[in-house]
Amino acid sequence: MNIKRILIVAAILVFAVFVVQNSQAVMVSFLFWKIEASRAIVLMVTFVFGLITGLVSAQVFKKKGQLNRSVEDKHDR
């Protein structure tokens, strides 16, 4: 395994321990919704939304950069 995979696995393990140790019920309010849920579930959902947001934004910026380069290449010709 390379170092990147080891760091990813270590980060996931640390996060899992953190979630397990924070299993108390909490009230979550968002706009008009209020829900009581385990802090572990709230943390996991927040983590997943953050991952999805990061992946989507990385793809958008990657495609935007490719579009800008292709426009610049056509302009240089």
pTM, 2 dp: 0.56
Which residues 6+ apart lie within 8 Å of 37 measured at CB?
A: 25, 26, 28
- Residues 23-28, mean pLDDT to the nearest whole number: 88
User: What is the domain range of residue 43?
Assistant: 3-76
pLDDT for 20 equals 80
**Dist CA 46 CA 42 (whole Å):** 6
pLDDT digits (tens, 9 = 90+) for 35-77: 898 888 888 888 889 989 988 988 887 776 665 555 555 555 5
Number of compact structural domains in the chain: 1
